[in-house]
């Protein structure tokens, strides 16, 4: 557990999505989800323990938009007279450190939370943020997933339904505009991608664009097939992200270095497309999953993208499943 802990603490943007692979990496080989889970014992407690220790780092972006890094997914914060707007909620145990850093930005109360998708590392803080007075806004599928016990096969884990104060209070199906703090927040549903509940958040006045977990900056991404994600949806989302930004836009990934740009985003999109094509070709030739992994369809990209918790083998498996 010590090496796993160091691994998590040493890298940015640790995510529940990654635990299966983290465990596999720590043990030096691929494990089935059940084996990985048995080894990790209680991954949710483990993540809470990590978040309980992690410092929260503040990145000032542009105008009154900042990022809080260190509690699950990258949290966007917009300050102003209408109260703070959080983009994602982080993990509950980070509450005192998030509050301290958020208070250092401004004295405004937290009035709105936007969940970019239903995963624990983006919604766990909903309850305390709601207790602070925040309305919770999300795609209707985030609302649906949080209302019930939800199983994620790749984690071999079933999340209980969320308590009522953690459930989104405002939902939408396609797009939603929020006018707050003299900014326009444009929320847009991707369609099935990383899950079936992912939304982007654009703030045009600051030229900032939050991609949720459709973009992992510098790492192969997790794709949650259990709740509607798939590789072709991830590529479609990456195309939409590239089309939505310019060379001046500050691009926020769900995980990885929180301050990114169009060039890095485009490289990520090209990586997804190339690996999808390689894996699809092998699968069409009749290769099994193990044979496809052995053929190393990600090899050209591993040095740059495969050095974190989603290993080349796991990412190959996630792509193979969807082609």
Q: Which residue has the tokens 């509607």?
A: 228
When the beta carbons of 196 and 213 are compared against Zn ion, the nearer one is 213
Torsion angles phi and psi, residue 74, rounded to 5:
-65, 125
When the beta carbons of 119 and 262 are compared against Zn ion, the nearer one is 119
Residue nearest to Zn ion (CB): 119
User: With binding defined as CB under 5 A, does residue 198 bind Zn ion?
Assistant: no
Q: Coil, helix or strand for 252?
A: strand
Member of 213, 237, 238, 260 binding Zn ion (CB under 5 A): 213
Q: x/- site string to Zn ion, residues 13 to 32, per CB under 5 A?
A: ----x---------------
**Least gap, CB of 34 to Zn ion (angstroms):** 21
**Least gap, CB of 194 to Zn ion (angstroms):** 6
Instruction: Give me the DSSP letters along 141-187.
Output: HHHHHHHS-EEEGGGTEEEPPPPGGGS-SEEESSEEEEEETTEEEEE
- With left for phi above 0 and alpha for psi between -120 and 50, is residue 228 left, alpha or beta? left
Binding part of the chain for Zn ion, among 10-18, 148-156, 180-188, 301-309 by CB under 5 A, reads: 10-18
**Least gap, CB of 315 to Zn ion (angstroms):** 15
Binding part of the chain for Zn ion, among 134-142, 155-163, 167-175, 207-215 by CB under 5 A, reads: 207-215
Nearest in space to 121 (alpha carbons), one of 26, 251, 216: 216
Binding part of the chain for Zn ion, among 118-126, 179-187, 229-237, 315-323 by CB under 5 A, reads: 118-126
Binding part of the chain for Zn ion, among 48-56, 90-98, 211-219, 268-276 by CB under 5 A, reads: 211-219
Member of 119, 210, 262, 276 binding Zn ion (CB under 5 A): 119
Burial grade of 28 (CB within 10 A; 0-12, 13-18, 19 or more): exposed
When the beta carbons of 101 and 213 are compared against Zn ion, the nearer one is 213
When the beta carbons of 132 and 156 are compared against Zn ion, the nearer one is 156
When the beta carbons of 229 and 306 are compared against Zn ion, the nearer one is 229
**Least gap, CB of 284 to Zn ion (angstroms):** 29
| List of residues 6+ apart from 257 with CB closer than 8 A | 12, 13, 217, 218
Binding part of the chain for Zn ion, among 164-172, 212-220, 258-266, 302-310 by CB under 5 A, reads: 212-220
The rounded distance, in Å, linking the Cα atoms of 116 and 120 is 11
- With left for phi above 0 and alpha for psi between -120 and 50, is residue 133 left, alpha or beta? left
Is 216 within 8 Å of 256 (Cβ atoms)? yes
Total of chain residues touching Zn ion, rule CB under 5 A: 3
When the beta carbons of 252 and 280 are compared against Zn ion, the nearer one is 252
The rounded distance, in Å, linking the Cα atoms of 88 and 56 is 14
- Positions touching Zn ion (CB under 5 A) are 17, 119, 213
């Amino acid at each position: 557990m010590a090496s796993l802990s160091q691994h998590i603490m040493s890298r940015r943007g640790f995510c529940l999505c990654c635990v299966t692979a983290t465990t596999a990496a720590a043990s030096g080989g691929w494990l089935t989800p059940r084996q990985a889970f048995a080894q990790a014992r209680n991954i949710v407690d483990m993540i809470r323990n990590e978040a309980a220790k992690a410092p929260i780092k503040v990145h000032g972006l542009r105008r009154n938009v900042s990022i809080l890094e260190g509690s699950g997914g990258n949290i966007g914060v917009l300050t102003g007279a209408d109260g703070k707007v959080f983009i994602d909620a982080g993990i509950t145990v980070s509450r005192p450190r998030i509050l301290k850093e958020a208070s250092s930005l401004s004295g405004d109360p937290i009035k709105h939370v936007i969940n970019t998708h239903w995963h624990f590392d983006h919604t766990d803080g909903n309850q305390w943020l709601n207790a602070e007075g925040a309305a919770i806004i999300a795609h209707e599928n985030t609302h649906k997933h949080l209302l019930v016990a939800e199983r994620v096969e790749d984690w071999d884990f079933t999340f209980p339904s969320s308590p009522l104060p953690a459930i989104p209070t405002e939902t939408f199906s396609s797009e939603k505009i929020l006018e707050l703090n003299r900014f326009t927040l444009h929320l847009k549903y991707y369609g099935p991608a990383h899950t079936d509940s992912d939304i982007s958040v654009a703030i045009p006045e600051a030229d900032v664009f939050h991609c949720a977990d459709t973009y992992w900056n510098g790492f192969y991404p997790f794709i949650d097939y259990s709740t509607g994600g798939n590789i072709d949806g991830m590529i479609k989302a990456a195309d939409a992200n590239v089309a939505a930004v310019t060379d001046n836009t500050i691009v926020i990934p769900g995980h990885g270095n929180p301050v990114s740009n169009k060039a890095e985003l485009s490289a990520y999109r090209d990586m997804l497309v190339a690996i999808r094509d390689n894996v699809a070709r092998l699968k069409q030739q009749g290769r099994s999953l193990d044979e496809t992994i052995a053929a190393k369809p990600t090899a050209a990209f591993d040095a740059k993208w495969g050095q974190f918790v989603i290993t080349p083998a796991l990412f190959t498996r996630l792509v193979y499943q969807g082609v």
